[in-house]
Amino acid sequence: MDAARLRAAFPVLEKTAYLNAGTCGPVPAAAHRAAIEAWRMGTEEGRGGPFYERLIGLAEQLRERYGAVLGAEPADVALTSGTSDGCGRVVAGLALGPGDEILTADDEHPGLQGPVIAAREHRGVTIRAVPLAELPGAVTDTTRLIACSHVSWHSGAVAPVAELVAAAAARDVPVLLDGAQGVGAVPTDVAALGASFYAGSGQKWLCGPVGAGMLWVDPAWLPRVSALAPAYGGLDSPALGLGSALAPGARRYDLPSVDLAVLAAAVAAFDVLAEAGLADVQAAAVARAGALADALREAGHDVVPRGDTTLVSWHVAGGDEEAVAVRDRLAEAGVVVRDLPGTGRLRASVGGWNDDDDLQRLLTAL
């Protein structure tokens, strides 16, 4: 990996120690250019046939790229607006009802909690939440869905996916992984993971625009997940009208519409990372995040137990209020991290594009 070349692709890194890819990755200049060109085309040439041909072509290019990073067939990947969207489509699409239990972890993101809460309010589903590490032992005969993070957004811990999948398979229960802090950050070979669904974001570790995301659906589960809003691209033969069937693969779960600029920027951003070598970018990020965790501990900070991931969280004495104050003080010093409301923690997200100087700036500003 040419680290200097990768770093130079991101204008925000010229001045800022940007450590916030867990919220939104840095945007490469190439993605900015691609988005501008998409809007130029629509503005100057109109949004007719060529515009839509380009849009459809880019959607398939993006599906291929997301398939590649997930180790999946593109046909099994839906284009969504993000992780929350993907989680929502799965939870709402499964035929869950009264008496069915969704088993989840107790520190999940609202993007996963929201669909689960909706299933409780609208369909009488029961929710049971336990610590992420304890999920495999918590599966029971009433569990109908296990929904949890691949990587915890609060701690950077990795879910015990292998044990969880084994416990779930014994009861024919699907596992939905919220991969917001997984895909692009750590290896995400869906075949190796063995879950039934993997929802991910395009705007975080893949550095794309807000509004890009993916949902991988194990083909074995396709018949058991209703498509909520299949539109033109979600149908097999839209010209047949009501005679059409749903699209054969995960395309039936695609967003009904998406802006050309979103697709163009997502593809361009992905290609910046692919050129550097995604596996190398991930390995560099995980190693540097580990070094940051060590350095924070040495400096006396209370680092939250984590896994080999790209997130590092630590407690701030004084709780939420003080965490926000420290976050803002860091931002003034040109260091971008986030607070985690309700936990009194700050979180740094370390990418393969960050360097030692970024980490040093954080440590010094703290």
Ligand X SMILES: Cc1ncc(COP(=O)(O)O)c(C=O)c1O
Residues that bind ligand X (CB under 6 A): 22, 82-84, 109, 111-112, 149, 153, 178, 180-181, 201, 213
* CB nearer to ligand X: pick between 153 and 253: 153
Q: How many CA atoms lie within 13 A of 298 on its CB side?
A: 8
Q: What are phi and psi of 4, to 5 degrees?
A: -65, -40
Provide, rounded to whole angstroms, the least separation between the CB of residue 205 and ligand X.
10
Provide, rounded to whole angstroms, the least separation between the CB of residue 248 and ligand X.
26
* CB nearer to ligand X: pick between 149 and 196: 149
Q: DSSP letter at 21?
A: T
Q: Which two tokens stand for residue 174?
A: 């699907």
Q: Which two tokens stand for residue 264?
A: 């163009």
Provide, rounded to whole angstroms, the least separation between the CB of residue 113 and ligand X.
9
Provide, rounded to whole angstroms, the least separation between the CB of residue 213 and ligand X.
5
* CB nearer to ligand X: pick between 71 and 114: 114
Going by C-alpha positions, the residue among 234, 228, 229, 261 that lies closest to residue 247 is 234
* CB nearer to ligand X: pick between 143 and 201: 201
Q: Which two tokens stand for residue 128?
A: 């049971």
* Cα separation, 325 vs 303, whole angstroms: 18
Instruction: Report yes or no: 296 and 289 within 8 Å, Cβ to Cβ.
Output: no
Provide, rounded to whole angstroms, the least separation between the CB of residue 270 and ligand X.
15
User: Shortest Cβ contact with ligand X: which residue?
Assistant: 82
Provide, rounded to whole angstroms, the least separation between the CB of residue 111 and ligand X.
3
Q: Where are the beta strands (DSSP E) in 203-322?
A: 213-217, 302-303, 311-315
* CB nearer to ligand X: pick between 112 and 167: 112
Measured N-to-C along each axis, helices 29-45 and 49-70 cross at an angle, to the nearest 10 degrees, of 160
Going by C-alpha positions, the residue among 249, 244, 222 that lies closest to residue 232 is 244
Provide, rounded to whole angstroms, the least separation between the CB of residue 17 and ligand X.
20
Q: What are phi and psi of 337, to 5 degrees?
A: -130, 175
Measured N-to-C along each axis, helices 83-93 and 110-123 cross at an angle, to the nearest 10 degrees, of 20
145: part of which helix (H) or strand (E)?
A: strand 143-149
* CB nearer to ligand X: pick between 54 and 109: 109
* CB nearer to ligand X: pick between 41 and 87: 87
Q: Which two tokens stand for residue 262?
A: 């979103």
* CB nearer to ligand X: pick between 213 and 361: 213
Going by C-alpha positions, the residue among 118, 106, 120, 189 that lies closest to residue 148 is 106
Provide, rounded to whole angstroms, the least separation between the CB of residue 84 and ligand X.
3
